[in-house]
Amino acid sequence: MNKKSKVVRYNKWGYIFLIPFTVIFLIFQLIPLVSTIYNSFFENYRSGLTQIGPNFVGLANYATIITNGDLPMYFKNTMIMWVLGFIPQIILSLLLGAWFTDPSLRLKGQTFFKTVIYLPNLIMASAFAMLFFTLFADSGPINSLLIQLGVFKEAFSFMDHAASVRGLVATMNCLMWFGNTTILLMAGMLGIDPSLFEAAQVDGATANQIFYKITLPLLRPILVFVMITSLIGGLQMFDVPQILTNGTGNPMRSSMTLIMYLNKHLYSKNFGLAGALSVFMFVITAILSLIVYKFTNVQEQK
């Protein structure tokens, strides 16, 4: 009896230690989230010098961003650039992960290679984008290198073509994230029971067969996790296209992402549309997160 009350006395410290997190979360995340949602139902913007609103308009802001075509277009842009970056990223990561974890290959210098491929992940995205912008400028070193090598006759304007701008954004995203993905996939591959590989080898399976018939199916939960977390990150794509195109998303707003659009409304203080856009992003992210959560939970129960 005495012992139990003592335990209870200690356990109140659980609540005490949770106070900083809870208070800061409530103030800086929950209240902003609620007021963002609240804002999305109001007409509230500046037209010249006159302030319009805030007036309650119901779901009109949601209707506006969908029907004027902005949201679908920027969503499409974001998804195109994410897919373009994600496909090479996952292929590279699977390949490198399989090589690093293959005991029969016994690759030397693994630490060096892992260090190098993870490096771009820590680089300031805005500085990296600025670097690409200067390197790929009309008079930049890439153009002069390609002309010196005889690939181009005259400078190619990378910034004036939708395909090359999107390609550059995708390249940067791929470079920045494939090292991280490789390391995550490697952890998954190392978690597979080695006796499965041994048994397959004894039965005469080739490296290819082992990869497709054993590694890949057993890796599926981690692949789904990697894909959805990358998708959540991709939806938040901002720094790279923002700096690369100076916030315009040019040419023809073809590389304007959802968050760049949100950023625009925040600068022009159109809180109604910014709110509706935020809620849209929140709902998509929440759904995607629930899928991740379900998947990792199923994993633990197994």
Partner 1 sequence: MANNTSNSQGGGVHARRIVSYIVLILISFLCLFWFYVLFINSTRSNSELSAGFTPFPSVHLIENWTNLKNGTLPIVSGMINSLLIAVLTATLATYFSTMTAYAIHAYDFKLKKFMFTFILMIMMIPTQVTVLGFLQLIDKMHLDNSAIPLIIPAIASPAVFFYMKQYMDSTLPLSLIEAARIDGSGEFRTFNQIVVPLMKPAIAVQAIFSFVGSWNNYFTPALVLHDDTKKTLPILIAQLRNADWLKFDMGQVYIMIAFSIFPVIIVYLILSRYIVGGVTLGGVKG
> What is the DSSP track for 222-280?
HHHHHHHHHHHHHHT--HHHHHHTTTS--STTTT--HHHHHHHHHHTT-HHHHHHHHHH
Alpha helices in the chain (DSSP H): 2-25, 31-39, 60-67, 70-101, 110-118, 125-135, 141-148, 162-190, 194-202, 207-210, 216-218, 220-235, 239-244, 258-267, 271-301
Binding residues among 220-239 for partner 1 as defined by CB under 8 A: 225, 229-230, 232-233, 235-236, 238-239
Q: For partner 1, which stretch binds (CB under 8 A), given 64-72, 77-85, 153-161, 287-295?
A: 287-295
Question: Interacting stretch for partner 1, rule CB under 8 A, among 20-28, 45-53, 67-75, 150-158?
Answer: 20-28
Binding mask 81-110 for partner 1 (x = CB under 8 A): -----------x--xx--x----xxxx---
Of the pair 166, 273, the CB lying nearest partner 1 is at: 273
What residues from 51 to 80 belong to the interface with partner 1 (CB under 8 A)? Answer: none
Q: What is the DSSP letter of 104?
A: T
Choice from 1, 4, 5, 14 touching partner 1 (CB under 8 A): 14
Let me know the angle formed at the C-alpha of 103 by 99 and 104, rounded to the nearest 5 degrees.
90
**Binding-site string for partner 1 from residue 110 to residue 139, where x marks contact by CB under 8 A and - marks none:** -xxxxxxxxxx-xxxxxxx-xxxxxx---x
Distance (Å, whole) CA 181 – CA 94: 9
Q: Tell me, residue by residue from 265 to 284, as one string, x for binding to partner 1 by CB under 8 A and - for no binding.
A: -xx---x--xx--xx-xx--
Q: Say if CB 45 and CB 52 are below 8 A apart.
A: yes
| Three-state DSSP state, 42 | strand
Decide the pairing of beta strands 42-47 and 50-56: antiparallel
**Pattern 146-185, binding to partner 1, x per CB under 8 A?**
--x--------------------------x-x-xx--xx-
- Segment near partner 1 (CB under 8 A), from 57-65, 69-77, 155-163, 257-265? 257-265
Instruction: Give min distance, CB of 272 to partner 1, in A.
Output: 10
* Interface with partner 1 (CB under 8 A), residue from 208, 217, 301, 302: 208
